[in-house]
Amino acid sequence: MIRLDRVSKRYPDGTVAVQELTLEVGRGELVVLVGPSGCGKTTTMKMVNRLVEPTGGRIVVDGVDVTDADPVALRRGIGYVIQNVGLFPHRTIEENIAVVPELVGWQRKRRHERARELMELVGLDPAVHGKRYPHELSGGQRQRVGVARALAVDPPVLLMDEPFSAVDPVVRSQLQDEFLRLQDDVRKTILFVTHDIEEAVRLGDRIAVFKQGGRLEQFDTPAAILGMPATEFVADFVGADRGLKRLSVTAITPADLEHPPVVRADDDVATAGAELGDGRWAVVLDADGGLAGWVGHDMLTGAGKVRERARRMEAWVELDDSLKVAFAEMLQWNAGWIAVLDDDRYVGVLTPTTLHAALRRSVEAEAKDVARAEVVLETVQNA
């Protein structure tokens, strides 16, 4: 959808901002450009909508070479969100959102309806905020207006340059969440600039890590960048805690799970006790495979049914949740294991040991390009 082919930019003063950059953003994909200050991220982005002209290479958007396109028409088809938004101070929020629709000649009623619809989409109340002026909104609300304005004529492509960096970390995290939900709905093709690796990992389908002088160091998924930094520069840039960050982008799969003894809620205590044997505890399931709780070996004495002895499970996670979510739940409940469900069906448990193994296997699986289940780890036991 967006293709950069050996694109370079040398400014008239001789500064090389971007060097032979080749990069592709697929339809509906969100690619984050990340790197230290001055590495050419903004320049790259501005070449896509021709606010800056490349000095070499080709840029194609939706099959059209941008150097052949009329810049004004081109920019109307590409939403642009920048830091500090750049709203018109003397126009209301509704008028600000409707700027491009007005430029392209939409009637007043249609503009009004579209602005209201977009305000709702980005979490603003049209009745409350529509008639206000930019200075009457909070920083986070202004950023939302910026996103709404960029979406006004429903462009297939969005360029976003540090759109959430002018707000405090709490609001920022909230905006990121809302933005991910929004992107799930609208599936735009997005080029997103940030200097914050946490933001890149959270938002990006793929991340392009830049180095000073506009050189692309690595272009890959967040998990691969964190698990297998291609160069020392990338390893330094993503940080010494990249293993921890990687937890948040690695999903739980069935191959990661352990399978402790299982008993049924309807079993007699004596039967369950015998089934458990030497095991210290068991997972308790109800008749249709749902999680009913857990039971300790020492709780299985006397007569009665398992359900009368079982303890309720305080927490569980779903397959496809991240390893980070599982780890956080284990810490919160001070538990040595956590049950994993697939919809309502119990499928196994994760422990700190299996969680760590899952993380290691996921890195090796990617390096060898095989399924995670096929990776056998070297461990202290089997080394």
- Residue numbers at the binding site for ligand ATP (CB under 6 A): 11, 13, 15, 17, 35, 37-43, 195
The nearer residue to ligand ATP, 34 or 300, going by C-beta atoms, is 34
Spatial distance between the Cα atoms of 149 and 160, rounded to a whole number of angstroms: 12
CB of 2 to ligand ATP, least distance (A): 17
Contact 115, 97 (CB under 8 A): yes
The least CB distance from residue 44 to ligand ATP, in Å, is 7
CB of 179 to ligand ATP, least distance (A): 19
Q: Which is nearer to ligand ATP, 47 or 175 (CB)?
A: 47
CB of 13 to ligand ATP, least distance (A): 5
109 residue type, one letter: K
Q: Which is nearer to ligand ATP, 216 or 247 (CB)?
A: 216
As measured in angstroms, the least distance from the Cβ of 40 to ligand ATP is 4
CB of 47 to ligand ATP, least distance (A): 10
Instruction: Quote the CA–CA distance of 266 and 287 in Å, as a whole number.
Output: 8
Instruction: Judge whether 350 and 340 are in contact, CB under 8 Å.
Output: yes
Cβ 199 to ligand ATP shortest distance, Å: 13
- Rounded to an integer, what distance in angstroms lies between the CA atom of residue 56 and that of residue 43? 13
Q: Which is nearer to ligand ATP, 159 or 359 (CB)?
A: 159
Residue 31: CB minimum distance to ligand ATP, A:
15
E strand spans, the chain: 2-10, 16-25, 30-34, 56-61, 64-65, 78-82, 157-161, 189-194, 206-211, 215-220, 262-264, 281-285, 291-296, 316-318, 338-342, 345-350
Q: Strand, coil or helix: what is 324?
A: helix
Q: Specify whether the CB–CB gap between 266 and 284 falls below 8 A.
A: no
- Smaller CB separation from ligand ATP, 41 or 112: 41
Q: What's the min distance (Å) between Cβ of 55 and ligand ATP?
A: 12
Minimum Å distance from CB 11 to ligand ATP? 3
Tokens of residue 339, six digits: 């049950």
* CA distance linking residue 142 with residue 136, whole number of Å: 9
Comparing CB distances to ligand ATP, the nearer of 15 and 138 is 15
3-state secondary structure 91-113: CCHHHHHCHHHHHCCCCHHHHHH
Residue 340's Cβ-count burial label (10 Å; 0-12, 13-18, 19+) is: buried
Nearer to ligand ATP, 56 or 261 (CB): 56
Q: Give one word for 183, left, alpha or beta, with left for phi > 0 and alpha for psi -120 to 50.
A: alpha
SS3 76: helix
The answer to whether 248 touches 235, Cβ cutoff 8 Å, is no
Residue with Cβ nearer ligand ATP (39 or 310): 39
Q: Is the Cβ of residue 48 or residue 276 nearer to ligand ATP in the bound state? A: 48
Residues 373/253, Cβ–Cβ less than 8 Å: yes
Q: Which is nearer to ligand ATP, 100 or 193 (CB)?
A: 193
Cα 14 to chain center, whole Å?
A: 37
Pairing between β-strand 345-350 and β-strand 316-318 as defined by DSSP bridges: unpaired
